[in-house]
Amino acid sequence: MKEMTLSQLAELLGGELTGESDRVVRGMASVESAGPDEVTFLSNVRYERFMKDTRAAAVIVAADYAGAGESLIRCEDPYFAFREAMMAFYGPRRPQFEGVDGRACIDPTATLGEGVRIAPLAVVSAAAVIGAGTVLYPHVYVGPNCRIGRDCTIYPNVTIYNDCVLGDRVRIHAGTSIGQDGYGYATYQGAHHKIPEAGRVILEDDVEIGSCCAIERATLGDTIIGAGTKFADLVAIGHGTTMGTGCLMVSQSGIAGSTRVGDYCVFAAQSGIVGHIRIGDGAQVGAQAGVTNDVAPGVRVLGSPAIDIADAKRSMISLSRLPQMRSAVRKLTREIAAIKRRLGMRDADDEE
């Protein structure tokens, strides 16, 4: 961990400092817990209430921030500035081992690039290619004929099945499976017969996959995760699905097979997408939404079945008021019946 003055940090972030320029800081912390030698940030108005009491040496804020705080670093995008500060103080996680450990199992026909690090008990199979600077942690399995690009990081217990392709700077977290068989069966005479999966999985450059995710190989062709797409943990992708550039998938979301997803789409927690549909560029799927039809580009959907988010919110508000509405209807029904009795009118039900 590094230390620097506030003026040095502000210069690094491209921000404007108001406060003690020569004050030394040694790290980052939350606005509630930061100490006098730490910097914090404010990018969510919910946390503005802590500003008057924070002990932080300085707070990274938006350029137009007008609230409390004596020592501020004003930046165009405070959340990205926070990211840059974190990189400056802590940097990326680095492996604590060098070279190729003798306890790793490396097939003689595998190709290892310059500076590859492979931990004990990792397996690299026949004809696999590992790009320069890539790191394989313990118990990683790389199947036959896989190609892994430069500067990738594969954390413990990741399984990469045969013939899969990873681009450069791909990061896969512990316990994830890449390229297992898809869920494909032909039911014939009461039995479910497995369909062989002859395709691949391709993860393009700068993809990051969280822990315990599962990405199925295609039956035919490729399952593709586009460049810069990021998964949280516990995400499932069905066989033959293709995702565009820069998509985000939050934990416990999933996409069934043969779905086409555009660029920069967002899938919130526990959302589910049926197979064989299209999700347009920039679409956003809300938490716990169940998408059963195509979603047009730029549309936000919510609910199950998923509908336009504005309509879904109105439906949810109406549903929350259902008990009061039921009581009101019952009251009106009684009042109408009383009026009819006074007028000597008979209900159709009574005549029957």
- The candidate with the shortest Cα–Cα distance to 149, out of 118, 112, 175, is 112
The DSSP element (H or E) to which 94 belongs, if any, is: none
Burial label for 192, CB within 10 Å (0-12, 13-18, 19+), is: exposed
C-alpha distances (whole Å) from 227 to each of 155, 201, 335 are: 20, 13, 64
Please name the amino acid found at residue 337: A
Strand runs labelled E in 184-243: 185-188, 191-194, 200-203, 208-209, 214-216, 222-225, 230-231, 236-237, 242-243
- The candidate with the shortest Cα–Cα distance to 104, out of 125, 82, 78, 122, is 122
Residue 193 annotated to the active site: no
Q: Which of 192, 193, 239, 276 is catalytic?
A: 239
CB 103 within 8 A of CB 86: no
- The candidate with the shortest Cα–Cα distance to 95, out of 80, 117, 63, 78, is 117
Beta-sheet pairing, 147-148 with 254-255 = unpaired
Q: Any idea which residues carry the catalytic annotation? A: 239
